[in-house]
Copies of this chain bind each other. A is one copy, B any other.
């Protein structure tokens, strides 16, 4: 996995799944029973156990650190909870210049539970690498501004357009807390890092380039001096793939909308790509899914590196035996 992320082609294509640690696994549901989501993220024993579960079960080529995009926001003192079935909800949304001024920096000491969890994971993983996990600044900011999940992020875009200075301050704060969060994971032993940008697909190219991209770059810059490959994954970013290399990413995650060979030509320079099985096909009969995997692998065959993954996270209702079968299929190919 790390070799592929650095632009090599190992004997078998490495495979892991975004959101592999989570609700699709009965052992996850058992571990989480009665435990609040953010509590699970901050208890090193639980976060480590949940991170390891899909590695044990599926024999994937990477673990991904179990956490939530808002974990560093909570650690920076913002009152946020995860409401089951809904997502992150803030006690007080961040919408004005003074709201943004009131945000405090993340005290590095607060990241201790994260470092401990990562150390527990790495001690058990041996050869398998751990992918550090963080949210990209735009997605983080959209939760802060909306006060919770939002399909359209109207308030977020309104703030971006009407108060660019406050917007830039907010995005820098988001970049800094998520940057500190991923840096702590690498310092504790993560071998790769991925930033997730779930919502930036609602922006025009011009807004993405001017109002978002510099801050994502700032988040990646927090890893300066640490030699780990950096993966950028965004949903609905087909139109701006050419801008992603300049964010500082070494690998570009591609959602299911764009075939990998088309994505590669849009990126415009030879780079490893990650993706992009359509999660909708996880419920399809095996021959249909296998043909789709073959197609993804074929389209990725000429890339400098290819990490097989889904084009989005594992849906909670996924049959986990299908994921195991995908790993076996790719490794035996």
Interface residues of A (CB under 8 A from B): 151-158, 161-162, 201-206, 236, 238-239, 256-259, 278-281, 283-285, 288, 292, 312, 315
Contact = CB atoms under 8 A, between A and B. Distances in A.
A279 B152 contact: yes
A277 to B, nearest CB: 12
B161 A284 contact: yes
Number of copies: 2
Given A161-B281, A161-B284, A288-B161, A204 B155 contact: no
Contacts of A203: 257
Given A152-B280, A203-B257, A204-B257, 16 more contacts: A152-B312, A154-B280, A154-B315, A155-B280, A157-B278, A157-B281, A158-B280, A158-B283, A161-B280, A161-B281, A161-B288, A162-B281, A162-B285, A162-B288, A204-B258, A239-B257
Per DSSP, chain A at the interface is helix
A53 to B, nearest CB: 23
A257 B200 CA distance: 11
Contacts of A238: 239
Given A154-B279, A162-B285, A257 B202 contact: yes
Contacts of A157: 278, 280-281
Contact of A153 (B151, B161, B280, B288): B280
Contacts of A156: 280
